[in-house]
Structure 1
Amino acid sequence: MVSQNRTIRFKLYSLLSLPIVALIMLWIVMTGHLVGVFFDLRRGVTLFDQVATPAGVLADHVQQERQLSAIFLSGTSPDGGRLAAAREETDRAVTLFNERVTSLEAQSATGPDVVQSLAELDRHLHRLSTLRQDIDGRALTRLASVQEYTKIQDALYQMYDQLVTVSDLALYRKSNGLQTIVRSRELLSQEDALLSGAIQQNSLSREEQRSYADMVSGRRLLLARGLEALDAELRRPYDDLVASADYKRLTTMENQVITQGRSPEQAAAWQPLAGTLGSRLDQLATDRATLLNTRTDAAASGIIAQIVAAAGLGLVAILLAVVLSARFGRGLAQELAHLRSAAIDLADVRLPRVVAKLRDGQPVDVESEAPPILVTGTTMEVQDVAQAFSTVRRTAVEAAVGQAELRKGVSLVFRNLARRNQSLLHRQLTQLDGMQRKTSAPEALADLFRLDHLTTRMRRQAEGLIILSGAPAGRAWRKPVPMHDVVRGAVAEVEDYTRVTVPPMSDASLIGTAVADVIHLLAELIENATVFSPPSTRINIRGELVGRGFAVEVEDRGLGMGEGDRDELNRRLANPPEFDLADSDRLGLFVVSQLARRHKAKVTLRRSPYGGTTAVVLLPHDLIITTADDLPPDPDHSPGTRHTPAPEPGGHRM
């Protein structure tokens, strides 16, 4: 069977199309909508239990306190403690309400609108104490007290309006209808409070008459509106109540008060009648709200069943999509995994191995280090990427080899030029030595000595180029040299050597093969200390045997350097980087680090107690001889004055 190559886009679309369609069609459109409706219904039930129910209790007690306050303001004799008891009941209702609305369950269901209405209600409830003081001091009229309590009730019912969050339109309409009937019941309570006080005084002012008429008309309008929103089952008890003889007697008394402007003819029957009808309305509101809440729970249960069905169908579709997609994805994953392994092998194994070989000077075979990547898959794009990766890998290896050859060529150029300069400078030093021996004129000798010193420094610069190329400097001692002479030889390489103080050191010698490099290393550090310290200060050099070898300290009294710069220099001295032609300002640092690594010495910079910098050179035991019968220095290669100082720094230390 001939396999057909296909694009990665085709395979990815085949892999993802079925799960995406299944998720979008089943979960987002169906499950998401049903879950949202379900949570809206559950939120409505939670608000009814945690907020609406205690709020209804609070509203009943505020109505009772309002009526007794109006009666208290209408008479002059004590009420037997009824008002005080009503206030205590109201306070307990407020406490219960606050506990319920601040519970974790209630807060999880309240939105910003409900929170804002609760804050407004809390502000009105805090005014209860002031209102009661005004009533006790009879600073308010009967109508004013009723209106003040009504403000609290209005805040309660405004909060009620925010609790209706059912997304089902039919349930929302019925819930809103019940809420309207409850507002009608509140107006009946206002009528009862105002008229009960008027009956106590047997008088009704014109303002109270107008307010009473507004209450009656509002109550009847809200009751009619609320009943229109209910279905037959919810409305039936209310229709029976409206058709009852008690309700007709109530409306007759209301009409008498409005038309005659005084208490009804059967004034003594008003309070029992209003109380009875109010209690029946409260009971009906509780029963109808419970029934509506039961319907909400039933709707939520039905939605749960729909969610389960939708989830089941979605799960089947997703499983089918996964099974079909796995067949396409398995082959593609294997191809990409092979390509990934090849890329990791290039980055973590082959290129570092090539660089290590080139750094050690070993030959590198490009063909063996960069073989082509073989892909057995059928995806065209993966094949193209594998071929491109093979090309990139070969190019990277060739570039690394070319870069190494270029560095090697530059090093050879450095070495050849430096060797030529070194040979000429040796000849020049020999001629200068002969001229010094032939003349006795002080001025001529001084000039020849300065020229001799300058030539010695030029020779050290040439040796620095040789060290940068990775080769030894050329000078060597066959026998050990005392460390004191080695340090003095390094001082002699420095232009401003008269500022350097070298006290006697421990009885130790340096092996001959390391003398030239250690003199060069110390000369670089001493030269650096003289350049970056005031001309009037001294450079102190101390050397002694320590537990891990021989330590030489070069201390200046200059301005020193920042902690960050010092840490960076110490890092480079401990781990010498590859020589960068662009970083020519710190050739001395690179020379010192290379010499230290060559002999396994450790060079560290630290802050001097005088504010400058102290360079500490720790030579290992392998380079130091401490026996008493050390051989004398080689007379032909004794450290003397003909050693060149460090290159002139270009404004940077080292």
Structure 2
Amino acid sequence: MSTLIHDLALVAAPSGVAVGVGVAAVYYRRRAAERLVRIHRLETQVRDGEQRVAARDEEAQYLAGNRLPALISALSRGEGGSHRGAGLLHPQLADTQTGTAYRDVLHQVAELTRAASERAEGAAGAAVQAVVRSLQSLINEQQVAVTALQDLKNDEDTLAITIPIDHASSQLARRAQVVGILTGMWPGRQRADTPLLETVRGGVSRIRDYPRVEINGEPAAYVAGRAVEPVVLAVAELLDNAARHSEPGTSVYVWFLEAHNGISIVIEDAGIGLAPEERERAARLLSGQDPVRITELRTPPRFGFLAIGQLATRYGFHVSVEQQSVHGGVRAVLHLPGTLLVAPPAPAFPAAAESVNTGQSVAPPAGHPYPVAEDGLPVRQRGHGSRLQPGIPAASPPPPGAGRHLAAFMRGTDSARTASTDQEQTS
């Protein structure tokens, strides 16, 4: 106001009052314009503040409704990933306190989720292992009881009942082994080096539809003892899968392919085959690269390919179902590298073996298990394979009606033993 009075005084002296009034009007118009600029600036600041508040509110809603669920879903699939500063609805908030706080929230949730998942997986694995060990103990007791019953009662009816029970027990034991493998358990006892053919037959003996399996070829190689049980389990799972996914009246074919770096066991069925997406998933499971988590298995769970993949990774063989069989089904290939194969053992007594077989043999009578010499005595022959260790399944499961023949054999053995004892007492 003092500036305005000074201006008016200078102007009013020569020009009069009218000029002073004009100067006052200019001054007030300038002040009004300045106030309008300040008002517009404040209005802009208010609008910017409201927009920032709205952006933070939207970001909070987006965090709760999108980013956190996406993070939990990724963790459940085993995809941890990095969520620092990524996925913001408003990227301009990335370097603000709000963006930093939201990144910290995601990091803490990820760490808590991983810790909870690891605890749940550990508890589930321990529970499964306890159940598997209990089942294996009960199965062993059952098999011992069945064997004792067969030794005690060797009549036809008893054997006809106990043989299917024993075979069902071996299948149950295999399923328990497979589940245990998924939790990191060891597949079984250490075995002696075993002929490859007997190893495959061991896998055949552990499936329900064993009569449908046809094996072609007699490879001379032996499987190293440390890999015998894993290969038996893997072959059994592949055969069981082939039999269950093909018509009951069809056969499952097994043959061998020798390569420069090992031998492949080829299993072919005439089933429905695999769709491309199923084939890709099977290849991923059989590779054994993805960690197995009991708490994340599909519903219903499918253990076979998962267990095979774990065995293949641990013991160094490779399994593939990427090809189609000539019958339109699946061709599964289990490749054993040379490191898992050993040469057949040399005969322990070659000279004795030569002297035993010096007699000229003739065709055996019908139903006689051994060739006979000219004097009618049986000629002993040394087998080419080694005796399997206890626990290795039979070369092939007994066919239907085997109880009748086994009972007759055991009755004949008892009769001969009784007659021999009587002669000794008489003499």
Normalised TM-score (structure 1): 0.39
Report matched runs for 1:484-563 at 5 Å. Answer: 484-563=197-276
SS of 1:427's equivalent? helix
Partners of 2:288 and 2:306 within 8 A in 1: no
Pairing 1:66-105 to 2, within 5 Å after superposition = none
Write the letter of the residue equivalent to 1:476: Q
Q: What SS does the corresponding residue of 2:115 show, helix, strand or coil?
A: helix
Cα deviation, 1:273-306, whole Å, max 9, x if unaligned, reads: xxxxxxxxxxxxxxxxxxxxxxxxxxxxxxxxxx
1:439 shift after superposition? 1.4
Provide the C-alpha distance between the structure 1 equivalents of 2:314 and 2:254, rounded to a whole number of angstroms: 23
**Fraction of identical pairs, as percent:** 24
**Mapped contact 1:485–1:639 kept (Cα < 8 A):** no
DSSP 3-state at the match of 2:181:
helix
Separation of aligned partners in 2, 1:596 and 1:509: 18
Match of 2:386 among 632, 635, 645: 632
- Whole-Å separation in 2 of the counterparts to 1:489 and 1:466: 19
* Richer in helix (by share): 1
- Structure-2 residue corresponding to 1:607: 324
Q: 1:465 to 1:564 in 2, by over 3 A?
A: closer
Tell me the CA shift for residue 565 of structure 1: 2.7
Secondary structure of 2:96's partner? helix
How far the C-alpha of 1:595 sits from its partner, in A, is: 1.6
Q: How far 1:392 sits from its partner (Å)?
A: 2.5
Say yes or no: does 1:405 pair with 2:119.
yes
CA drift at 1:642: 10
Q: Secondary structure of the equivalent of 2:263? A: strand
Q: How many residues align?
A: 280
Which one-letter code corresponds to 1:595 in the other structure? L
Whole-Å separation in 1 of the counterparts to 2:240 and 2:313 = 20
Q: Relative to structure 1, is the Cα distance of residues 429 and 415 closer, same or farther in structure 2, using a 3 angstrom cutoff?
A: same
Instruction: Name the aligned partner's letter for residue 306 of structure 2.
Output: F
Q: 1:399–1:433: structure 2 CA closer, same or farther, 3 Å change rule? A: same
The corresponding residue for 2:157 is: 443
- Residue 558 of structure 1 aligns with an amino acid whose one-letter code is G
Matched with 2:401 is none
Partner deviation per Cα, 1:179-234 (whole Å, 9 max, x = no partner): xxxxxxxxxxxxxxxxxxxxxxxxxxxxxxxxxxxxxxxxxxxxxxxxxxxxxxxx
Q: Does 1:586 align with 2:302?
A: yes
Matched, 1:566 2:320: no
Of 499-508 and 629-638, deviating more is: 629-638
Written as runs of structure 1 = structure 2, the 5 A alignment for 1:201-350 is none
SS of 1:506's partner is coil
Alpha carbons of structure 1 residues 404 and 380: separation in structure 2 relative to 1, 3 Å: closer
What SS does structure 1 have at the residue aligned with 2:188?
coil
Cα distance change, pair 433–620 in 1 and its aligned pair in 2 (3 A) = same
Report the Cα distance in structure 1 between the residues aligned to 2:239 and 2:282, rounded to whole angstroms: 16
Look up the SS of the partner of 1:461 in the other structure.
helix
- Tell me the alpha carbon deviations over residues 400-458 of structure 1, each in whole angstroms, 9 at most, x when there is no partner: 12212211211111111000100110111011011111112212201100111111111
Change (3 A) 1:575 1:463: closer
* 2:33 corresponds to: none
Contact 1:453/1:641 (CA < 8 Å) preserved in 2?
Answer: no
Root mean square deviation, CA, Å: 3.5
Q: Does 1:429 align with 2:143?
A: yes
Distance 1:561 1:573, change over 3 A: same
Deviations 1:590-616 (A, max 9, x none): 122222222232211121112221111
User: Which stretch of structure 1 is more off in the superposition, 571-580 or 531-540?
Assistant: 571-580
Counterpart CA distance in 2 for 1:439 and 1:627 is 38
Matched, 1:476 2:193: no
TM-score by length of 2: 0.58
Deviation at 1:471, TM superposition (A): 1.5
Hey, what's the Cα distance between the residues in 2 that align with 1:559 and 1:465?
A: 26
Amino acid of the structure 1 residue aligned with 2:392? S
Query: 2 CA distance for matches of 1:405 and 1:466?
Result: 19
SS at match of 1:545: strand
Q: Which residue identity lines up with residue 481 of structure 1 in the other structure?
A: T
Is the Cα–Cα contact under 8 Å of residues 204 and 396 in structure 2 kept in the other structure? no
Aligned to 1:618: 335
Structure 2 distance, partners of 1:481, 1:494, is: 20
Q: CA deviation at 1:641?
A: 6.8
User: How far, CA to CA, are the matches of 2:206 and 2:326 in structure 1?
Assistant: 26
What letter is aligned with 1:508? A
Distance 1:642 1:502, change over 3 A: closer
Contact 2:201 2:396 in 1 (8 A): no
Q: Distance in 2 between matches of 1:640 and 1:628?
A: 21
CA distance in 1, matches of 2:183, 2:280: 26
Distance 1:614 1:542 in 2: 11
Give the letter for the 1:589 counterpart.
F
Structure 1 or 2, whichever has the larger Rg, is 1
Deviation at 1:13, TM superposition (A): 6.5
- Residues 2-60 of structure 1, C-alpha deviations (whole Å, 9 max, x = no match): xxxxxxx97x969xxxxxxxxxxxxxxxxxxxxxxxxxxxxxxxxxxxxxxxxxxxxxx
Distance in 2, matches of 1:440 and 1:402, equals 56
Is the CA contact 2:179–2:303 (under 8 Å) kept in the aligned structure 1? Answer: no
Q: Helix, strand or coil for the counterpart of 1:533? A: coil
User: What secondary structure sits across from 2:144 in the alignment?
Assistant: helix
* Corresponding residue for residue 353 of structure 2: none
Distance 1:383 1:629, change over 3 A: farther
Residue identity in the other structure for 1:590: L
Q: Secondary structure at the match of 1:635?
A: coil
The code of the aligned residue for 1:406 comes to: A
Instruction: For residue 256 of structure 2, give the secondary structure of its aligned residue in structure 1.
Output: strand
Query: Higher relative contact order by CA 8 Å / sep ≥ 6: 1 or 2?
Result: 2
